[in-house]
Each structure stands twice: as C-alpha cells, then as structure tokens.
C-alpha cells in the first residue's frame, strides 16, 4: 500500500488491518499513551473544497502522531493558478513525507499519486471518499460488535459516499443496498468494480430506486446531502427529485429495530434526513465524526510510519 486513493484498490485484509489499527490507536489515545510514529514527518494537506471534519481530523491526527500538518489551500498555492499536477507533485515530494488532497476531479488524485514518490491520501473527490468510510466502518463495528453479515442501506444520491460505501462494505463483508432516483444512480464503472468485490466477499449488493426495498431490515441506515460540493446550481431541482428519499420516521421503521443512523456530515435537516432521526436515539453521527481522527491516524501511520 503506497497510497489511499480508493478502497477498491485495497485487499479485504488491508481494510481490516486499518480498522483494527484505528481501534487500537483510539484506545491508546483515550488512555493517554503518546505516539511518535511520525516524528519529524510533514503531511501537506491540499484543499480545493471546503472542510471541517477532514481538515481538523488530519491536522490533529498528524500532531498526535508527532508529525507536522501543513494546510495548503488552493487559493494560496500555485496549483490554484494553473501550475500542473506534475510539477506540484515533483516539488512537494522533495519536501514532504505525504500528501492529503481534497479536490473535484478524481483523475487529479490518481495523477498526483502516480507522479509523487510519497504517499497520497484521497480526502474526497467527486467520485470517492474512502477516509470517511473507514471511520464509518469503525463506528459500525463499535456499535454492532461485528461487521461481517451486517446490512448497510444508503438512501439518496449515487455520489462519492455511495461509491466508497459500496467498496467498503464489500471489503469488510457487509451486504449493501443503495436506493437512488433513476437519474442519480451510482457511476457505472464504480458499480462494475464493486460487483467484482462483492463476488469475492460473497455478500449481496442491491441497487434500486426504491428506498423501502433498500432499507428493509438494514442494520445501518446511511444518507448524505442531496447537493454535494460543486452542485450548488442544481440545488432546487435536486431538492424536488430527492424528497421521496428523505430518511424520516416512516422510512426508518422498515429498518431493523436496532439499526443505527449514519451521515458523513455536513447534514441538512429537513432535507435528506429529519431531525427526529438525526438527533434521535439511533443516530451515531458524532461517533463517526470522531472516528475520522482515529481511522486516519491508522492510515497515516501505515503509509508514512
């Protein structure tokens, strides 16, 4: 493992190893154990999109491992003014020990990883969000005591979260059901890749436009914003199309009675999820947010340690 670009690139054992290390690092942090795994190392953090959780969790995680996080907003670096990915990679690899990048085009992250001789971590593209899913799987494990054999239902846009959740479920041995409106289904290539992964795991992948079918007996109910970063102009249209996909009390009643509710955040109450659900007893959203820190420490320790 040189980079973390997509969970599809990892073996099931590599995903499980990262989750186990995340759980261990979390316990050690709670017990006050100090780490120097990344002492003297610097992580460059390139952001061309906004972030709360990702920025804070990578900065704090790097600090807790004894390293130094360097925030690089695209407003400030030359990449934002048209310097190439190639030149950026070649310069940064001379000074940094790893790069984390959040951006629009997934291909830019693939290119950066190819050109840079240091680890590159995908911190969200239009296509994928693997770090979030590592934190989500860790959270599901903490609440359910296992992952193998659980069913995760994702209701909403066939977006970066849906894609990474499919990959993550396949690698960790969960069944996965995605319900999205007809014109907002998941990317065809991601579906083809995920089907290969599910074949290997022997678990089930359900792709439907029916939220009730997807959520039936689910152990984990997941949703995400209907309007991802970069889609702001489509907001009015999307809010109309997606309303039947809102996770509310009526829909949630079809899930397992002990199901947990998850959301990567930021959330828009009254749209993709009602207050009753996101602020209710089944919600584990802030555990997911905290686990970004622990899961990404595992990623950084593995790639840069």
**Angle (CA) 281 139 272, round 5°:** 55
Q: Please tell me whether residue 228 binds ligand NVA under the rule CB under 6 A.
A: yes
225 counts as binding ligand NVA under rule CB under 6 A: yes
Query: In a 10 Å sphere around its CB, with 0-12 CB exposed, 13-18 middle and 19+ buried, how is residue 164 labelled?
Result: buried
Footprint of ligand CP on 171-230 (CB under 6 A): none
Q: Determine the Cα–Cα distance for residues 152 and 167; give it in Å rounded to an integer.
A: 12
Binding residues among 105-124 for ligand CP as defined by CB under 6 A:
124
Name the pairing type of β-strands 220-223 and 260-263: parallel
Q: Which stretch binds ligand CP (CB under 6 A): 15-23, 26-34, 45-53, 193-201?
A: 45-53
Active-site residue (options: 8, 292, 294, 296): 292
Which H or E run contains 291?
Answer: helix 285-304
Q: What is d(CA 232, CA 228) in angstroms, rounded to the nearest whole number?
A: 7
Q: To the nearest whole angstrom, how small is the minimum distance from the Cβ of residue 195 to ligand CP?
A: 26
Q: Which of 16, 26, 53, 297 binds ligand CP (CB under 6 A)?
A: 53
Q: Would residue 224 show up in a list of annotated catalytic residues for this protein?
A: yes
- Pairwise CA distance, residues 197 & 167, whole Å: 7
Minimum CB distance to ligand NVA, residue 300 (Å): 19
Catalytic one of 8, 53, 55, 102:
102
Active site residue 53: no
- Contact between 235 and 275 (Cβ < 8 Å): no
Q: Is 176 a catalytic residue?
A: no
- Residues between 103 and 132 with contacts to ligand NVA, criterion CB under 6 A: 124
Q: How many residues bind ligand NVA (CB under 6 A)?
A: 9
Residue owning tokens 């970069």: 230
- Which of 197, 264, 282, 296 is the catalytic position? 264
User: Using CB under 6 A, which of 159, 164, 291, 296 touches ligand NVA?
Assistant: 159
Give the strands of the sheet with 220-223, arranged side by side: 205-208, 175-179, 151-155, 220-223, 260-263
Give burial (CB, 10 Å; 0-12/13-18/19+) of 30: exposed
Active site residue 143: no
Give the residue with the Cβ less far from ligand NVA, 6 or 160: 160
Start-to-end CA span in the chain (Å): 12
Active-site residue list: 102, 129, 132, 224, 264, 292
Which residues contact ligand NVA by CB under 6 A?
A: 124, 159-161, 224-225, 228-229, 264
Which residues contact ligand CP by CB under 6 A?
A: 51-54, 124, 132, 264-265
């Amino acid at each position: 493992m040189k980079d973390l670009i997509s969970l599809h690139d990892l073996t099931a054992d590599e995903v499980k190893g990262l989750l186990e290390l995340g759980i261990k690092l979390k316990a050690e942090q709670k017990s006050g154990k100090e780490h120097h795994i990344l002492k003297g190392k610097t992580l460059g953090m390139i952001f061309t999109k906004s972030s709360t959780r990702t920025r804070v969790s990578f900065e704090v995680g790097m600090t807790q491992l004894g390293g130094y996080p360097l925030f690089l907003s695209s407003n400030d670096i030359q990449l934002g003014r048209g310097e190439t990915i190639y030149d950026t990679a070649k310069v940064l690899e001379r000074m940094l020990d790893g790069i984390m990048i959040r951006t629009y085009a997934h291909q830019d992250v693939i290119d950066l990883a190819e050109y840079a001789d240091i680890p590159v971590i995908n911190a969200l593209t239009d296509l994928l969000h693997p770090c979030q899913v590592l934190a989500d799987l860790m959270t599901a494990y903490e609440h359910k005591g296992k992952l193998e054999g659980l069913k995760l239902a994702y209701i909403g846009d066939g977006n970066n979260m849906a894609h990474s959740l499919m990959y993550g479920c396949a690698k960790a041995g969960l069944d996965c059901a995605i319900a999205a409106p007809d014109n907002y289904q998941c990317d065809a290539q991601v579906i083809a890749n995920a089907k290969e992964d599910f074949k290997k795991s022997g678990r089930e992948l359900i792709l439907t436009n029916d939220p009730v079918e997807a959520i039936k007996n689910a152990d984990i109910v997941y949703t995400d914003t209907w309007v991802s970063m970069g889609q702001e102009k489509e907001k009015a249209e999307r809010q109309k199309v997606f309303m039947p996909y809102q996770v509310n009390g009526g829909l949630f009643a079809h899930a397992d009675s002990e199901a947990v509710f998850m959301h990567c955040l930021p959330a828009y109450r009254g749209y993709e999820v009602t207050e009753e659900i996101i602020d209710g007893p089944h919600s584990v959203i802030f555990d997911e947010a905290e686990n970004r820190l622990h899961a990404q420490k595992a990623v950084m320790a593995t790639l840069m340690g």
